[in-house]
Amino acid sequence: MSTNSEFSLPEKIKTTKNFGVRAKLFASFGTLIALIAGVGFIGWQNTRQLAQDADDLYKDKLTAAVNLADARATMWNLRWGLLQYIVEQDQRKELRDAEPKLYEDMNQALQSYRKTNLTAEEQQLIQKLDNSIKQYIASRPKFFELLDAGKTKEAIEYRTSTTTRFGSESVEYIGSLIKLQQQQSERKNKEIESRVNTLTILITVTLLLALSISSIVAIILGRNIAVIIFNSVKNITSSSGKIATTVSDQERTLLQQSNSVNETTGTIEELGAFTLQSAEQAETSAGGAKLALALAEGGTQTVGRTIEGISGLRDQVTAIANQIIRLSEQTSQISTVSDLVADLANQTNMLALNAGVEAARAGEQGKGFAVVAGEIRKLADQSKKSADRINSLVNEVQAAINSTVMVTDEGTKKATTGIELVEETGDVFSNIADSVNLVFLNTQQIAQSAKQQAIAVQQVVAAMNVINLGAKETAAGIVQVKDATNDLNKAAENLEAVV
């Protein structure tokens, strides 16, 4: 009964622990790979969408803003040309010759703007702008006629009531359109930032979940396999010691019974059969250890592929960070241009102030020039306010970009930490493979020794046909060999259960 119960225990182990270790191994790594593949696919989709949003932002909003800025600059040049026409009489011909080119530049800028995706509000404003520009252009010839006729005062009064009003309306409409572009760009930037934050949170949660699963699996499997292998190796060592002791006792007994070979031949042949059985069982154990080694190496390869997947995800996060940094550099360039505009406005203001002083000195003759100087100062003040507003907006955008860069950098660091932890798991699998390989080599050596022992027993059977004394001692030794062989068999089956 004792022997049957001991041999039934490995079968229980084989049907519970063996299946549990395999199931946990495949299920855990399958879940881990599925999580990483899922987050990789979602990250890829979000990255493509971010790239498309950034491209739309550049093509629609930034291009539209540049075209509107060109149109506003051309309008300012036209309005400034009227002032120059009053002051610099010797350059009137050059100013009139340059006028068609300015009309053409402004028309091209507005045509390019119309080709972008316009909202209903933008379409209404562009229609009002077209009407205002038409009125402005239509009112300019009469202004030139009055000045050419020497009617400076009438020309200035006419300009104040017509060209100045239409020009200011045109500039205001263009400014409103630029403001709409800025508002749309801000909304688009907020959408992009929201996508980046969502992607970062998703990647972080998935990596933490994968890390937790890997840690739990490594701890559970490591403990189970370590206990089973330790007990199996301990049993193999103990059984081998018992076999060696029993064989030594048998050798001494057989030397004492050298005159009675015939009666002990059957017993020694039985010993040979048990030895061959031990060799076969040892070979079976070696095959199980080899399969365990293959599974451990497969786990190491799976960890390697996991590392490659996380590395690819980290590279994608790094690429997003690089794109945001380039956007920051372009924003800095906008700030530089705005500073130049503000500086130019200050210099223009100073020139207008000096012109006003000179006009005051000229008395009655300088009144017209004083009006021109006042207009110039107003224009300079408007330019400076616009430049300050642009600088403020650029600073806000720059702060948002810096915050995004910090978030993506944190995501890259966490991905790197995940890779390091997976690499540590790979090292654990490598150590397990080395241990199983050592057990495999030892089991092969035991099988080889058992085969050599079987050969030696056969030689003893051929040489000791007359042994008949000490039958009881030999029988007791054979019982001990059987028990030790059974222990070795159970240990081998426990080791096989790990597979």
Strand runs labelled E in 382-498: none
Of 475 and 420, the structure prediction assigns the larger pLDDT to 420
Q: What is the DSSP letter of 62?
A: I
- What domains are defined for the chain? 24-57+193-498 (1.10.287)
Query: Per-residue confidence at 395, pLDDT binned at 50, 70, 90?
Result: confident
Q: How many residues does the chain have?
A: 499
Using one digit for the tens of pLDDT, what is the confidence trace for 254-310? 567 666 656 656 766 776 676 677 778 767 877 877 887 787 788 778 878 877 887
pTM above 0.85, yes or no: no
- Dist. CA 148–CA 85, nearest whole Å: 10
Can you give the pLDDT at residue 15?
Answer: 46
Can you give the pLDDT at residue 38?
Answer: 75
Contacts of residue 217, defined as CB under 8 A and 6 or more positions apart, other chains included, come to 24, 25, 28, 29
Is residue 130 over pLDDT 60? yes
Strand partners, 497: none
**488, 277 contact by CB (below 8 A):** no
Pick from 478, 404, 39, 22: which is nearest to 249 by CA? Answer: 478
Pick from 346, 411, 335, 436: which is nearest to 385 by CA? Answer: 346
Using one digit for the tens of pLDDT, what is the confidence trace for 214-241? 778 668 766 765 666 566 656 666 666 6
Can you give the pLDDT at residue 338?
Answer: 77
**296, burial (CB in 10 Å: exposed 0-12, middle 13-18, buried 19+):** buried
**394, 329 contact by CB (below 8 A):** no
Using one digit for the tens of pLDDT, what is the confidence trace for 3-45? 444 434 444 444 444 555 566 667 666 776 876 777 677 777 7
